[in-house]
Amino acid sequence: MSDDTEPDIDDLQRRMDGALTALKAEFGGLRTGRASASLVEPVMVDAYGSQMPINQVGTVNVPEPRMLTIQVWDKGLVGATEKAIRNAGLGINPVVDGQLIRIPIPELNEERRRELSKIASKYAEQARVAVRNVRRDGMDSLKRLEKDGHISEDDHKIYADEIQTMTDDLIRKIDDALNVKEQEIMQV
């Protein structure tokens, strides 16, 4: 609330959009049978006494549709990078070639596709819950503002309708993103 006399609709919209952005980032890490640099983004490497994102220890490339490569900059970090990829639970097997790590992306079987689809649904539900929590915060602030006499009952209704419309739009966008991701996962 900027001045505590009217609801900050822009802040609510920003927070709801943040849930959609986070969902799309989560979807980027789900493997669909095609190589994507975002597949290894969440991997953290033990380097120089701390955890570093993989893109800070080497260059991630996608030379072919079913191959990722990581050119590790420091020879001493090749082993740690390979270990981090193996232990990330991505279902991929890196192959070391000097300072270059090749990661072939295997075909997905039907069971793994269904599993990934369920994970995508779980991510989408978490995003829906986040949007609904933002909506609830907005509605609570409206009640407070009306109770304190800062907005009228009519204004409360207008703002509530606006917040509900924003919520419905975001939930629809989340559902659309989920449908696209599920089709991508199930595509053979």
Long-range contacts of 65-68 (CB under 8 A, 24+ apart): 65/34, 65/35, 66/33, 66/34, 66/35, 66/104, 66/105, 66/106, 67/35, 67/102, 67/103, 67/104, 67/105, 68/35, 68/36, 68/37, 68/39, 68/40, 68/92, 68/102, 68/103, 68/105
pLDDT at residue 1, rounded to an integer: 39
Is the full-model pTM beyond 0.75?
no
Report yes or no on 156 lying in a domain: yes
Report yes or no on 2 lying in a domain: no
- Tell me how many domains the chain contains: 2
Report yes or no on 48 lying in a domain: yes
Are residues 118 and 66 both part of a single domain?
no
pLDDT at residue 72, rounded to an integer: 92
pLDDT at residue 167, rounded to an integer: 95
pLDDT at residue 70, rounded to an integer: 92
Report yes or no on 78 lying in a domain: yes
Are residues 64 and 41 both part of a single domain?
yes
CATH number (domain holding residue 90):
3.30.1360.40
Q: Return the ∠ at Cα 83 (arms to 30 and 62), rounded to 5°.
A: 45
CATH number (domain holding residue 128):
1.10.132.20
Mark which of 54, 74, 104 sits at the end of a domain: 104
Are residues 21 and 113 both part of a single domain?
yes
pLDDT at residue 31, rounded to an integer: 65
What is the domain range of residue 113? 9-28+109-186
pLDDT at residue 188, rounded to an integer: 61
pLDDT at residue 162, rounded to an integer: 94
Q: How far apart are the first and last CA of the chain?
A: 49
Are residues 147 and 87 both part of a single domain?
no
pLDDT along the chain (188 residues), means of 10: 69 92 82 73 86 90 88 91 85 87 84 83 93 94 90 91 95 94 81
Are residues 131 and 96 both part of a single domain?
no
Mark which of 84, 104, 124 sits at the end of a domain: 104
Report yes or no on 3 lying in a domain: no
Mark which of 87, 104, 121 sits at the end of a domain: 104
Are residues 44 and 97 both part of a single domain?
yes
